[in-house]
Amino acid sequence: MSAKILLAAEIESLIGTLHLRASINLPAGVTALVGPSGAGKTSLADILAGLQRAGFSHIRLNDRVLADQGSSVMLRPEQRRIGYVFQDARLFPHLSVATNLRYGMAAGMRRWEDILGMLDLKPLLERRPGTLSGGEARRVAIGRVLLSEPELLILDEPLAGLDPARKERLYPYLEKICRNHKLPILFISHQIDEVIRLADYIQLIENGRTVPALPLEDAFSHPVMQRLIGRHDAGAILTARAESREDGLTRLDFPGGHLLTVEPFALGQNIRLRIQARDVSLSRRRPKDISILNILEGRITSIRGHGDEVDIGVAVANDNGGASNLIARITHHSAERLKLKPGEPVFALIKAVAVTRKLFSD
């Protein structure tokens, strides 16, 4: 990770039977903390926020040391300037939304107006938390945290428990926060679609141990991520831009080439695509007279066998030096028949109807 690190933490602690050994380095932007249930995600967040003591911790946020057992530094939660949005909104039920928002408020009136507008909170100000929907309560909780002017924002499964329709209504607000606030955001989730839609980086954790954070596009080829998402959903993430539309097809340009899709994306829109391995076929030669419209020239980077199936890593590049990685899942028989080997050229084939509106951000 080459971006400037704003939060650096080394943590070791025994939590029940879990031995937590974590190294966290967060730049500005959204880092998703991803791992199976019981991996230590929430415990790690609680230690960062000062809500839980660790056996050992050294935590630095910007230029401030928040915790250091060696020098007996242990700032209280309210001194850390960490905004924490819990899975439940934790609003004061006897207070109005406006009073809830002002609790712990450090921002001035201009910031107040900005956050009310960004989260569409003005129509809710006179209401009590008991009258809010789940999505409305989450927006109020996020607004209250942002008004405290945090230096780090922790979102612990902010979409948990919401039905798909309410999730879709809350996504744009979360995307605005992620795009407009130049602070580190630790986003905890076990829903891969949420992670792909919102995150810039992925911090993997398994059995209490972290893996160095990776850019979103690189993380999906990591063995830990492959185990989390399952082989059926394995694939690659591409960030593309809708450039033109003709004959009912949209052209999406991405580092490494372009793709055609039937999806009517708005021109100029930036899109995150999840290209699943099972939708990618391979050929040793450029095929002719076939219905598949997306034919990308690349080079084999890896071959991983899984019984009768094989995952083939393919790096595709364009004339301008841009490059992206794909994964193709084919049978072991096909890999043997084509005599595929790392380093050799290959063509990746993807149907236009397989390039769908999986996930996107403006």
Q: Which domains, from first to last, does the chain contain?
A: 7-230 (3.40.50.300), 235-360 (2.40.50.100)
3-class DSSP state for residue 87? coil
- Angle, vertex CA 275, rays to CA 347 and CA 164, nearest 5: 170
Instruction: Report yes or no on whether pTM surpasses 0.95.
Output: no
Q: Which residues contact 276 (CB under 8 A, 6 or more apart)?
A: 233, 234, 235, 354
- Per-residue DSSP letter, 149: -
Intervals of the chain under pLDDT 50: 358-362
Closest CA to 355 of 268, 236, 216, 267: 236
Q: Could you say which DSSP state residue 304 is in?
A: E
Residue 251 has what pLDDT?
Answer: 94
Residue 18's H or E segment, with its range, is strand 18-26
Q: Quote the distance between the C-alpha of residue 27 and its chain's center.
A: 14
The Cβ of residue 271 has, within 10 Å, a number of other Cβ atoms equal to 24
The whole-angstrom separation of Cα 54 and Cα 12 is 7
Distance, in Å, from the CA atom of 116 to the CA atom of 123, rounded to the nearest integer, reads: 9
Q: What is the pLDDT of residue 362?
A: 41
**Residue 4: both structure tokens together:** 């400037």
- Rounded Cα–Cα distance for residues 27 and 22 (Å): 16
pLDDT digits (tens, 9 = 90+) for 184-223: 999 998 788 888 888 889 998 989 999 888 888 888 777 7
pLDDT given for residue 41 in this prediction: 92
CA distance 160 to 191: 9
Distance CA 235, CA 280 (A): 9
How would DSSP label each residue in 161-175?
Answer: T--HHHHHHHHHHHH
Please identify which residue in the block is written with the tokens 């029940």: 16
**Do 147 and 106 touch, CB atoms closer than 8 A?**
yes
For residue 150, the 8-state DSSP code is -
HSE-up of 207 (CA within 13 Å, CB side)?
A: 2
CB 209 within 8 A of CB 21: yes
d(CA 350, CA 282): 9
Distances (CA, A) of 88 to 68, 157, 210, 287: 30, 9, 26, 54
Q: Are 183 and 289 in contact (CB under 8 A)?
A: no
Query: What residues pair up with 200 in beta bridges, in sequence order?
Result: none
Tokens of residue 87, six digits = 């899975």
For 4, 151, 154, the CA distances from 73, given in Å and listed in that order, are: 24, 18, 22
Instruction: Give the tokens for residue 128.
Output: 């009590």
Cα(42)–Cα(350) distance, integer angstroms = 39
User: What is the C-alpha separation between 119 and 121, in angstroms, rounded?
Assistant: 5
Per DSSP, the three-state class of 339 is: coil
DSSP structural state of residue 71 = G
